[in-house]
Structure 1
Amino acid sequence: MIVTWPLRLIGLVLWFMWQIAVSSFVVMRDVLTHDDDSDPIIVEYRTAPLTSWELAMLALMVNITPGTLVLATRRVPGQEADAKLERWALFVHVMYENRDEALASFRGTEKRIVHAMRATGGGR
């Protein structure tokens, strides 16, 4: 599995570049047309157990994506089997998705990050 780690990282970068392009188009279309397609909400997303690097990557990717912004993070109390992994709650301002779509999007991004950043692949 370690042999595929660089390829998984490259795949994550390419996938994220596509996500940036798609979300940029959505924001650009909303700005250039007279329609207001935004429906701003704040959602709480609870992560699976993550390392500090994985949490930082998730928050960074959410912040860079047009139409989303992480407002705060908070540790979710609980015992984890691995002391390096912790559960977190991210409070995210979302402009162009409803709550369920946003949570599904964050869950998918989180899974891709874990799969790409852990040497063993972390499962998907």
Structure 2
Amino acid sequence: MPSSKRARSIASSGDRRGVRRAPLFTPSPLSSASASPICSPSSSPPPPPRRLVTPPRIRELAAAAAQKANRAAAAAKKKAEEDAVALATARKVIVEKQAIKEKAAKRAAEKEKERRERDLVP
């Protein structure tokens, strides 16, 4: 018969959760006394095993997590592609503006040269 009130009430109700069972193998006195949980009464009992998540639920959660990760990866890829297009467009615009400035400077230099030539001719 269990010694504590809690153990007796659990045993009488048929609920075995939280009740420590004796190990199937009892170590010999020659083995280390601290290795056995029975020999060390000062140690607290381990928490009862939790089986809140069942294997089908684990599969559901894993599938949901994978789907979420795939969506995030797709969104990141799309964002990276959009950023690459925007960067390429910006570079193209900068190059075009630079070309326009160079052409304008060249035309201005040619006009200045023509004006100087006209001024030199009497």
More helix by share: 2
Alignment TM-score, normalising by the size of structure 2? 0.26
More strand by share: 1
Q: Which has the larger radius of gyration?
A: 2
Greater relative contact order (CA < 8 Å, ≥ 6 in sequence): 1
Alignment TM-score, normalising by the size of structure 1? 0.26
